[in-house]
Structure 1
Amino acid sequence: MRPLTQAARTRPAPIPDAADEDGRAAGYSPEGPTQRSPEHGSPDRDQPAYDLIELLFFAYRDFVADPDRILAEYGFGRAHHRVLHFVDRHPGLTIAELLDILRITKQSLNRVLKELIEQGYIAQRTGTSDRRHRLLTCTPQGRALAQRLAGVQGERVRRALAEVGPALREPAGRFLLAMIEPEERAAVSRLIGGEASAEVPAEIRAEIRGGSPSADGVRP
């Protein structure tokens, strides 16, 4: 898997732990969004698209609520889910690549990885082209949990598409891609397409992808 662009990596600041806990980012105000006064222009043209902003909020709230209930069984949080998801989807990710995807601090990632490795959900292997690299892979138990979490989110997406019509899947995908910074879109598209790290040996891919463990193999 190719890393995201250098410009994309250096532009945003890493998200601190506090932002992951209570959802507050830089510029957060408990009083809510600032309202424009009429003299600043037409509301139709200058006001934020509150309907879409709030729909995105509520859609995301419910989208993550399904896996949150499962994660609570293991004492895990959303950071654990993100790591499991991308390592399962792209076995052989390096820590640098994972940091590039998640945009969290290295300290935060190390804490989450330590827990997942110690509890047997993630394994590390030495890199092939650079032995300083540690290639991250899900264990059978980790892959079973990752797929269980993806399963409940996939079911919500399928229900929504069935309600609005599957023909909207493509325009919805184009809209979400357009929400991403332009210089990052090609890299994100490659990531979604399943492009794997070039460092992953064929035997590791075969070992990881040789079977799909059932959710019964996951133990809290």
Structure 2
Amino acid sequence: MADGRSPQGISGENLLYLTDEQLRQGIEAMFFAYRGFTADPDRILADHCYGRAHHRAIHFINRAPGTTVNNLLRILGVTKQSLNRVLRTLVEDGLVESRIGAQDKRERHLYLTEAGAALESQLSDAQRARMRTAYREAGPEAVAGFRKVLEAMMDADMRRAYKRLKEQAG
């Protein structure tokens, strides 16, 4: 179609107007997909007595080595107390290194250690495998549409943070 929508898979539904039931089905699909997306990492994390907060911290430290604690707080949207608890564990367990800022001694810059990078790789490998399979089954148009939907669901601040992260990653 000229507007980028594919006639296949629309099944006569007007995608600009969805019923409450169709929206509810989408919400439920997100819940179940999230369970699947987190299941493999959760098993790996349980072996280390970690939770999803540890996973998110490790993920974003890996994506932006040298990120500050304050930046990580903004990305994760958690309290300072909560993040400090997670970071303390990761530092004590030798997965994250915290370095004092060169310009501002009050800043702490975060880096994964070799062990932290190995755990991050194990976690992301599991999620990439699941995403790769789903993307392959859905096809390129669905993948592009899925990304658009996810970005549209982000509030403006999160969308900016997401775009900054994508730019930093190159």
Relative to the length of structure 2, the TM-score reads: 0.84
Asked if 1:194 corresponds to 2:161, the answer is no
Asked if 1:173 corresponds to 2:147, the answer is yes
Separation in 2 of the partners of 1:54 and 1:162? 22
Matches within 5 A, 1:40-189: 49-189=23-163
The one-letter amino acid of 1:155's match is: A
Separation in 2 of the partners of 1:169 and 1:122? 33
* Shift in alpha-carbon separation, 1:169–1:193, aligned structure 2, 3 A: farther
**1:55: Cα distance to partner?**
0.5
Share of identical aligned residues, percent?
46
**1:183: Cα distance to partner?**
4.3
* Shift in alpha-carbon separation, 1:156–1:45, aligned structure 2, 3 A: closer
For structure 1, list consecutive stretches of 5 or more residues without a partner in the other structure. 1-43, 197-220
* Shift in alpha-carbon separation, 1:137–1:179, aligned structure 2, 3 A: same
**1:153: Cα distance to partner?**
0.2
For the 8 Å contact 2:73–2:79, the answer to whether it is kept is yes
Report the secondary structure of 1:91's partner residue: coil
**1:190: Cα distance to partner?**
1.6
Please report the RMSD computed on the Cα atoms of aligned residues, expressed in angstroms.
1.8
**1:49: Cα distance to partner?**
1.1
Separation in 2 of the partners of 1:193 and 1:144? 24
Relative to the length of structure 1, the TM-score reads: 0.65
Count of residues paired in the alignment: 153
For the 8 Å contact 2:63–2:165, the answer to whether it is kept is no
Q: Which has the higher contact order (CA 8 A, sep 6+)?
A: 1
Separation in 2 of the partners of 1:98 and 1:86? 7
The one-letter amino acid of 1:185's match is: R
For the 8 Å contact 2:42–2:51, the answer to whether it is kept is yes
The one-letter amino acid of 1:144's match is: A
Query: Larger % of helix: which?
Result: 2
